[in-house]
Structure 1
């Protein structure tokens, strides 16, 4: 079986499992399936395997912390009026890019995925910033784990053909 077919099977089946878990048994933890899917995609974007998993968890989690801090900063920049949020986001973006000098934080897109994930949870669901960070990081870790598992299953399906 080709790798693409094997990935289609493993990702398709695991997407069913992940969605069931996130919308059912794990829902009380405020974990978000959309954040997990972003992490899952980031895992493959980062080349998969252990290195891709580490880059995803580290960079997305860092980005989520920067995103949370940016939302909190925007609240403290109220005197800037309509510019408070844009200035806070600009500072956060600059921090992410500058942090890329650290090899573990050098995958800027994955950092941005994390930033967007926590900001989305805060802004779309009205979750307080400090209440959003842990579920976001847990969702990132779970999504990365599903990415790793889908890669493993696809590898076994490819080898068995």
Structure 2
């Protein structure tokens, strides 16, 4: 069997893994879209060339964003001020964005957009009824954003890694011959 051209290998690998992820996530309680975000970030941070480094970088950045979002959610729920929510919420979000922006001065968190993707994924997850709740957010349980999203991001990175390997397998005649034998 001959190798596919690189673009054809990319298309085939993406379709195969997108179908696999969508089918698999129908039976697992983890949120799929943060996985897709992590998968894309994996390639954005060099996963095609440096998979281990990209996996670590995505997790560091995106999980930091999730953590900043989780802290912001707690601050919003437990408002220690007399400020109304219409004032308090924007101040908390601004502080969280400021924290992520400051952290981007550190080389390990220098890709601010990936931190923001984690922060945004946090809020998308909390937008589901029942999740933006003090008991949920302060208890170690599967539907707590600080538990569910890091795991989903890890799985998304692993799909990215599998995607990079599958592209290589489909486009490399040597790799396909070795794996077949």
Q: TM-score, normalised by structure 1?
A: 0.90
The correspondence of residues 1-161 of structure 1 with structure 2, limited to 5 A, is: 1-24=4-27, 26-27=28-29, 31-48=30-47, 49-77=51-79, 79-81=82-84, 82-127=86-131, 128-130=136-138, 131-160=144-173
Shift of 1:111: 0.6
Instruction: Pick the structure with more helix per residue.
Output: 1
Shift of 1:3: 2.2
| C-alpha distance in structure 2 between counterparts of 1:5 and 1:129, whole Å | 44
Give secondary structure in 2 for the equivalent of 1:138.
Answer: helix
| C-alpha distance in structure 1 between counterparts of 2:105 and 2:160, whole Å | 26
| C-alpha distance in structure 2 between counterparts of 1:58 and 1:67, whole Å | 14
Q: What per-residue deviation string (whole Å, max 9, x for no partner) do you get for residues 99-157 of structure 1?
A: 11221111111111111111111123431334111111100000000001001110111
Give secondary structure in 2 for the equivalent of 1:14.
Answer: helix
Aligned Cα RMSD in Å?
1.6
Shift of 1:94: 0.6
Shift of 1:55: 1.0
Inter-CA distance 99–17: structure 2 relative to 1 (3 Å threshold): same
| C-alpha distance in structure 2 between counterparts of 1:100 and 1:54, whole Å | 16
How many residues are paired up?
A: 157
The answer to whether the Cα contact below 8 Å between 1:57 and 1:141 also exists between their aligned partners in 2 is: yes
